Amino acid sequence: MERTAEAILTDGRRLPYVIKDDPPRGGMKYTYFAPDRSYVVQFFNDPKNAADPNLRKRIEAIIGKYNPTLSEEEGGARGGTKAAADYFAGKFCWPFAIVQSPEFGIVCPAYPSDFLFSDNASIYPQMSKDLKGKDKKSKWFTSEKLRQIMKERELGDFRSMLCISINLARAVRRMHSAGLAHSDLSCNNVLIDPISGGCVVIDIDSLVVPGIYPPEVIGTSGYIAPEVLTTLGLPFGDPKRNLPNARTDLHALAVLIYEYLLFRHPLSGPKIYSKDPDEDEYLSKGEKALFIENPYDRSNRPPDLAITISDLGRSLESLFLRAFVDGLHCPDERPTAMEWEKALVGAFDLLHPCENPNCAAGWFILHDPAKPVCPFCGTKVRPENIVRFHLKSRMRGSPGQWKEAGVINVYHNMPLFKWHIYSDVFPDEKADRSMAAYVCRVNGEFLLVNRSVHSMRSPGGNIVPPGQAIRLKDGAVFLMSDEETGCLCEVSCGR
């Protein structure tokens, strides 16, 4: 039987919640929903946790001075603006209040509906019924076996999985810059929506504040860093024992990105380390961990790797090698979340739509125009459909000198934003996401249509006002904007 109760918050506010006989229960907390399901009230399973003063201090700090979903002016994380706080409120399910009565607990936003399964997600009707309203945990979309039972529209495409990777890298970068580590970044604590390309990081109340609040959890199998797993048998206070921190987050982040893009675990290969399945798992993810695409030791490489990190372009391939070769057992060598964010954004600019309408991936990274083939289905891009922008930015202090600033593959109906126009704009949480220009194809010709850019110049040097277009011919050179930070664009077609 349901009944409504009130949670009294530490600031005196009262929030109603609905008590059910069998509330959803996780490893540490159980959950009650608001009457309108806009927030949840969570209490701890173990009364000892609720009575722990260190836990209370940790949660107070997480809700307050380490909170990236609150601006610094509002008492949140240092350096956070209101706009950035609002942006990251959509990337985390961050607790926003502490309950003092009827017992100690927290209040969090409810997960947005995008991250909950509808009633028609699976190809099997009973499975759809079972999934309805459940969290969209990452594993549903990265496990090949589980993907096979989901309806195709639920799976998104390669572009949306790349979007998810960017969003997660950005969220982890912000969390680390606020002085926090998650400690249990995993498929269970990152909900994703392959339809929209969104993700949300959950289970925030156990975050690690280095040097102040130590980790309370070790992590989730498959995402625990090898150095943590290897020293798991040592006593908790032993200085040789490795505990979760920002560097272990970076291992988990790399694992998740690898799974999102390639639908497999980077360390799960054919090599067997023990006849005991539990010990084999422990060794394969810990002391003996070996990347399945390690170029120097192929003993753990599956025989059927049709798509590899080399198909993702040089920048992402380099980061995966740093994460799972150089940094697998040397945490300081792991790429930062910012490095992942930049490389993933660069890869997004190299996306190209597959010309096979039946290609499940839909998109691929066209990083080598000399080999314009979709790695997912083998379809070759016709030369007349390959148009690239080679961007250059002004060299400071050297008038008339330019340096490389990136490459963009363009295609019909592709939007361009300020970060494609100006060299000093990066598509982070501060970026203006209104469309600045777009590329379209009319009567077989590609055009760049100006929407809102001031002082865009044609190849002949004339102003191209908003609403007018530049014909994109091979070898054409023009200014995206003649402002100081405007990029010079060189066009290549068919190559």
Q: Is residue 309 part of a domain?
A: yes
**How many structural domains are present in the chain?**
3
Verify that 392 and 328 share a domain, yes or no.
no
d(CA 123, CA 132): 13
433's tokens:
């996401």
465 contacts 450 by C-beta, under 8 angstroms = yes
Q: Which of 429, 432, 341 is nearest to 84 (CA)?
A: 429
Question: 86: Cβ–Cβ under 8 A, 6 or more apart, which residues?
Answer: none
- The DSSP symbol for 333 reads G
Q: What is the CATH number of the domain that holds 16?
A: 3.30.200
Question: 322: Cβ–Cβ under 8 A, 6 or more apart, which residues?
Answer: 333, 334, 335
What is the per-residue pLDDT for 450?
Answer: 98
Q: Specify burial of residue 182 (Cβ count, 10 A radius: 0-12, 13-18, 19+).
A: buried
Query: In the block, which residue shows the tokens 């860093």?
Result: 225
What is the per-residue pLDDT for 144?
Answer: 92
What is the per-residue pLDDT for 492?
Answer: 97
Mean pLDDT per 10-residue segment, the chain (495 residues):
91 94 85 95 87 86 93 91 94 95 94 93 94 94 95 96 98 94 94 97 85 80 96 85 93 98 97 94 96 98 95 98 98 98 98 96 96 97 96 86 94 97 96 96 96 96 96 97 95 91
Verify that 427 and 341 share a domain, yes or no.
no
d(CA 65, CA 44): 23
Verify that 169 and 55 share a domain, yes or no.
no
What is the per-residue pLDDT for 141?
Answer: 97
75's tokens:
């008492």
The three-state secondary structure class of 156 is: coil
Verify that 165 and 42 share a domain, yes or no.
no
Verify that 210 and 324 share a domain, yes or no.
yes
Q: Is residue 377 part of a domain?
A: no
Verify that 173 and 289 share a domain, yes or no.
yes
What is the per-residue pLDDT for 164?
Answer: 98
Q: Is residue 44 part of a domain?
A: yes
Q: Is residue 375 part of a domain?
A: no
Q: What is the CA radius of gyration of the chain?
A: 25
Q: What element of type H or E holds 56?
A: helix 53-63
d(CA 245, CA 266): 21
What is the per-residue pLDDT for 447?
Answer: 98
Distances (CA, A) of 224 to 185, 234, 238, 289, 363: 9, 16, 19, 11, 31
Apex CA 81: angle with CA 78 and CA 83, to 5°?
A: 145
Distances (CA, A) of 99 to 7, 9, 459: 6, 4, 63
Q: Is omega for the bond preceding 102 within 30 degrees of 0, making it cis?
A: yes
185 contacts 249 by C-beta, under 8 angstroms = yes
CA 92 to chain CA mean position, Å: 11
What is the per-residue pLDDT for 206?
Answer: 77
Q: Which of 176, 213, 184, 245 is nearest to 57 (CA)?
A: 213
pTM of the complete model: 0.96
289 contacts 254 by C-beta, under 8 angstroms = no
The three-state secondary structure class of 128 is: helix
Q: What is the CATH number of the domain that holds 474?
A: 2.60.200
Verify that 177 and 257 share a domain, yes or no.
yes
Orientation angle between helical segments 314-321 and 337-348, nearest 10 degrees: 150
Q: Is residue 244 part of a domain?
A: yes
> Strands 414-416 and 402-410, how do they pair?
unpaired
320's tokens:
């995966």
d(CA 324, CA 293): 9
171 contacts 77 by C-beta, under 8 angstroms = no
Verify that 409 and 467 share a domain, yes or no.
yes
| Residue 420, domain extent | 382-493
- Which domain-ending residue is among 77, 110, 143? 110
Verify that 199 and 50 share a domain, yes or no.
no
φ, ψ of residue 363 to 5 degrees: the values are: -140, 160
What is the per-residue pLDDT for 400?
Answer: 80
The three-state secondary structure class of 254 is: helix
Q: Is residue 358 part of a domain?
A: no
What is the per-residue pLDDT for 73?
Answer: 93
- Which domain-ending residue is among 75, 110, 145? 110
Q: Is residue 369 part of a domain?
A: no
Sheet holding 469-471, edge to edge: 414-416, 437-442, 445-450, 469-471
Number of residues assigned to the chain: 495
Q: Is residue 117 part of a domain?
A: no
Q: What element of type H or E holds 417?
A: none
Verify that 161 and 232 share a domain, yes or no.
yes
d(CA 290, CA 268): 9
- Which domain-ending residue is among 79, 110, 141? 110
d(CA 167, CA 388): 25
Orientation angle between helical segments 337-348 and 158-177, nearest 10 degrees: 150
Q: Which amino acid is at 436?
A: A
3-state helix, strand, coil in the chain (%, to 5): 30, 20, 50
- The DSSP symbol for 436 reads -
Verify that 94 and 199 share a domain, yes or no.
no
441's tokens:
């194809």
Verify that 227 and 330 share a domain, yes or no.
yes
Q: What is the CATH number of the domain that holds 129?
A: 1.10.510.10
CA 10 to chain CA mean position, Å: 33
